[in-house]
Structure 1
Amino acid sequence: MEITLGHTPDADDAFMFYGIASGKVRSGFAVKHVIQDIETLNRRALKHELDVTAVSAHAYAYLNDYVILKSGGSFGLNYGPIVITKKGSSKVTTPEQLQKATIAIPGKMTSANLLLKLAIGGRFREIEMSFEAIPDAVATGKVDAGLVIHEAQITFDKTKFASALDLGRWWSDNMGGLPVPLGINVASTRTMSKSQITEFSDIFTKSIKYGLDNIDAAVRYAMQYGRGQPKETITKFVKMYVNELTLNMGRSGKQAIERMFEIAKEKKIIDADVAVKVV
């Protein structure tokens, strides 16, 4: 069976799929890789254009006829997206100031955007742009603050920028130690049978396990998506977001996603209850 498989041009996603892409993990699927940024994949999932795809956990609230795979999730363990401001700025240092600020975001359906709304207790003036463009937008004053994701969480220039809000720390401090829900992988129940989804899920788990067991080779492969960052940085980033919950999100991962949606509904950010279905 041929399937379309969407994932981002990011080191952690590439690391997870190394076993499959390298042929070290065999499967009965002919995989067509579709590599695009996470917000594009979120939108494509809304249109059911892909059989299996990475999406933001937030985006799952708007999807129909998809189930979450137990493996491949990106969960922060007391870390996550960060709101940065220009060094020395006093304009945005409190939740109340962030509500009134203009903030660059990497996509409306990103989990980072939802977490920010939950953390500051309301909406804000948002400008959507490529995640790569956000630091420059902050530096040039186009926006008051920027919501950074991916490796920018650990590589932003601390001589130019300050952290105004660490969303990973905020979540962990307020949610009883639940992991920070960021990215998930979903499979379409319109184009794949239950047995096909289960089979692919098992293969995907094996691919992640192969990467973790062969970390140097998998990181070398992932570096083609490292945007010029040194191997040490890519290794650190991969180890942050490919952890034990990536192999199997288990009860705590599912609870984290459910809790995020419960709070979002309480705050009227999403309209309805979300049934979180994990294979």
Structure 2
Amino acid sequence: MKIRIGHTPDADDAFMFYGINQGRVNTSGLEISHELQPMQQLNRWSLEGTLEMTAFSFAAFAQSFRHYRPIQCGISLGHGTGPLVVARPETSEAEVKAGLLASPGDLTSAHWLTHLWSPGQQTRQVRFDQTLEAVLSGDTVAAVVIHEGQMSYREAGLKLVVDLGAWWHQETGLPIPLGVNGVRRDLSEAVQQQLAQALHDSIALALREVEPALDQALPLARGLDRDRCREFVLRYVNQSTLDPGPDGLRAVAEFYRRAHAAGLTPEPLQPDWVVPATS
């Protein structure tokens, strides 16, 4: 059976899929291929149920849940850190909130989080790897930064206005849910479980073999050296990625509750998780 897996061409996803890419987890009977696309593209595809298994943001899942069930592992949780709002050194937080902010996509969790932090914020959709340039060129007052830009914005001469993951933790006491993987609902229960277990085992292997897994991740680190790549990857791929635990599941519920209250989604979604057999 052919299974197309969608994930981003980023270091943390490459690390997460280490075991699957190495052929060292059970994918018996499945013909796996990988579709590497920016998260905003994966989010758009998820709305149509394009791929059999894919990463998407929790924001996108509010619209794609009719096609997918989320897997209760492989969840990107920010523990006191998350997407960053950055600006030029002379720009105040008040000026950011009153101005135009570059956003990595309206289907990203970072976009939702921005509007929870600053209701009514003016935003412009910019490809995630061009958000810093939007600020430097003067096109926008500030930017929401995700992925490796979180490690390099200072080198670009920008300052941190707010860490949205830290803000969320101060508000809720919980980690911030950012991304999740899902399997299409029209797959059999057995295949859904097999894919969930394969993802779990792939992450577990990467966490046991960090340095070899980093070898796979580093070419996608967009200029980060090995030490900073390791820091970035392990920030978002760790034991809570294997098992979000009660706090992680509460965080997802709270994210959807607040998004619904803010008018970002018409209903407070209650995910029906695919839980790996061993976790």
Kindly indicate whether the alpha-carbon contact (under 8 Å) linking 2:114 and 2:121 is maintained by their aligned counterparts in 1. no
- In the TM superposition, what whole-angstrom CA distance separates every residue of 1:153-201 from its partner, at most 9, and x where no partner exists? 122125711111110110111112x1111010011112x1112111111
* 1:18 equivalent in alignment to 2:18: yes
Q: Identify the residue that residue 60 of structure 1 maps to in structure 2.
A: 61
Once the two structures are superposed, the pairs formed by residues 42-81 of structure 1 within 5 Å of their partners are 42-63=43-64, 64-81=66-83
Gaps of 5+ in 2: 275-279
Alpha-carbon distance in structure 2 between the residues aligned to 1:248 and 1:201? 12
Please tell me the residue identity of whatever aligns with 1:43: R
Kindly indicate whether the alpha-carbon contact (under 8 Å) linking 1:3 and 1:30 is maintained by their aligned counterparts in 2. yes
Kindly indicate whether the alpha-carbon contact (under 8 Å) linking 1:53 and 1:187 is maintained by their aligned counterparts in 2. yes
Once the two structures are superposed, the pairs formed by residues 149-168 of structure 1 within 5 Å of their partners are 149-157=146-154, 160-168=157-165
Once the two structures are superposed, the pairs formed by residues 174-213 of structure 1 within 5 Å of their partners are 174-176=171-173, 178-190=174-186, 192-213=187-208
Please tell me the residue identity of whatever aligns with 1:119: W
Q: Identify the residue that residue 121 of structure 2 maps to in structure 1.
A: 124
Kindly indicate whether the alpha-carbon contact (under 8 Å) linking 1:18 and 1:207 is maintained by their aligned counterparts in 2. yes
Alpha-carbon distance in structure 2 between the residues aligned to 1:234 and 1:86? 25
Alpha-carbon distance in structure 2 between the residues aligned to 1:119 and 1:158? 25
* 1:101 equivalent in alignment to 2:109: no
1:278 to 259, 267, 273: 273
Q: Identify the residue that residue 230 of structure 2 maps to in structure 1.
A: 235
Q: Percent identity?
A: 33
Using the size of structure 2 for normalisation, the TM-score is 0.94
2:257 to 249, 256, 262: 262
Q: Identify the residue that residue 87 of structure 1 maps to in structure 2.
A: 89
2:241 to 217, 240, 246: 246
Moved more, 44-53 or 192-201: 192-201
Aligned length: 272
Q: Secondary structure at the match of 1:276?
A: coil
- In the TM superposition, what whole-angstrom CA distance separates every residue of 1:88-126 from its partner, at most 9, and x where no partner exists? 223xx13xx444210000010100110111112x12221
* 1:7 equivalent in alignment to 2:3: no
Please tell me the residue identity of whatever aligns with 1:72: G
Alpha-carbon distance in structure 2 between the residues aligned to 1:127 and 1:133? 12
Distance of aligned partners of 1:163 and 1:46 in 2 relative to their CA distance in 1, 3 Å threshold: same
Distance of aligned partners of 1:100 and 1:89 in 2 relative to their CA distance in 1, 3 Å threshold: closer
Alpha-carbon distance in structure 2 between the residues aligned to 1:195 and 1:251? 25
List, as ranges, runs of 4+ consecutive aligned residues in structure 1 with deviation greater than 4 Å. Answer: none
Q: Secondary structure at the match of 1:13?
A: helix
Give, in angstroms, the shift of residue 272 of structure 1.
Answer: 1.8
Please tell me the residue identity of whatever aligns with 2:183: A
Kindly indicate whether the alpha-carbon contact (under 8 Å) linking 1:70 and 1:278 is maintained by their aligned counterparts in 2. yes
Q: Identify the residue that residue 131 of structure 2 maps to in structure 1.
A: 134
Please tell me the residue identity of whatever aligns with 1:170: W
* 1:147 equivalent in alignment to 2:153: no
